[in-house]
């Protein structure tokens, strides 16, 4: 997988585990495949970019009466257990990419953690800068939720002319109808669909 990077979407406790504040049904069942991908990438020296919600109770996305399209219940609150990445995808020593300007010298390394206030990772102004600095030939996307944060990330990457592979069996969505709609749009946009086995094999 030369020239590729991993793009790990929001594999945090509140999304991934039963009992999480915004649990994605079945997410814990794909965690072993996520682990395999992350470990194979680490062994191969492939860059691992992860996004993570970093919420505070005053964030516009959070609501006590959410519509589950633009607003959601409180989740992934900064400093809480629910905001942590699950063990299967945890990073060793990532470069934190917050909302304030990150000096260019830090936009290099093997692991990056993009913190965000909204489900679209490109609302962090440093995401575009990191993508430009890494300039990958291909981006391998997995994570949750397929029809929310995965969708925003993949649409954003396609809009920027990037080649994307989506790992179907290392992702889960919230709503089957929305998953079908967004994955159909991705296919039309040129996204290649793959499996964890194929990704791991390409890294060995």
pLDDT tens by residue, 93-141: 999 999 999 999 999 899 999 999 999 999 999 999 999 999 999 999 9
Q: What are phi and psi of 85, to 5 degrees?
A: -70, 145
CB atoms within 10 A of CB 5: 22
Count the domains in the chain. 1
Q: Render pLDDT for 18-77 as a digit per residue (tens, 0 to 9).
A: 999 999 999 999 999 999 999 999 999 999 999 999 999 999 999 999 998 889 999 999
As a whole number of angstroms, the distance between CA 167 and CA 1 comes to 14
Answer yes or no: is pLDDT of 2 > 90: no
Number of H helices, E strands in the chain: 6, 7
Supply the CATH number for residue 10's domain.
3.40.50.850
pLDDT at 69 (0 to 100): 85
pLDDT at 60 (0 to 100): 94
Answer yes or no: is pLDDT of 1 > 70: no
Q: For residue 117, what are the domain limits?
A: 4-203
* 132 contact partners, CB below 8 Å, separation of at least 6: none
* 198 contact partners, CB below 8 Å, separation of at least 6: none
């Amino acid at each position: 997988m030369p020239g590729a990077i991993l793009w790990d979407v929001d594999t945090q406790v509140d999304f991934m585990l039963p009992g999480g504040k915004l649990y994605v049904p079945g997410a814990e069942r794909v965690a072993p495949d996520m682990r395999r991908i992350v470990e194979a990438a680490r062994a191969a020296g492939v860059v691992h970019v992860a996004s993570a919600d970093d919420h505070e109770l005053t964030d516009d996305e959070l609501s006590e009466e959410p519509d589950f399209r633009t607003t959601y219940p409180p989740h992934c609150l900064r400093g809480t257990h629910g905001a942590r990445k699950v063990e299967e995808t945890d990073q060793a020593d990532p470069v934190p990419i917050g909302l304030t300007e990150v000096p260019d010298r830090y936009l290099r390394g093997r692991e990056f953690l993009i913190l965000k206030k909204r489900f679209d990772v490109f609302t962090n102004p440093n995401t575009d800068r990191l993508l430009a600095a890494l300039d990958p030939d291909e981006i391998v996307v997995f994570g949750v939720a397929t029809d929310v944060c995965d969708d925003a990330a993949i649409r954003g990457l396609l809009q920027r002319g990037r080649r994307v592979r989506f790992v179907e069996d290392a992702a889960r969505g919230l709503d089957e109808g929305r998953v079908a709609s967004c994955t159909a749009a991705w296919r039309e946009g040129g996204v290649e669909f793959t499996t964890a086995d194929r990704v791991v094999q390409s890294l060995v």
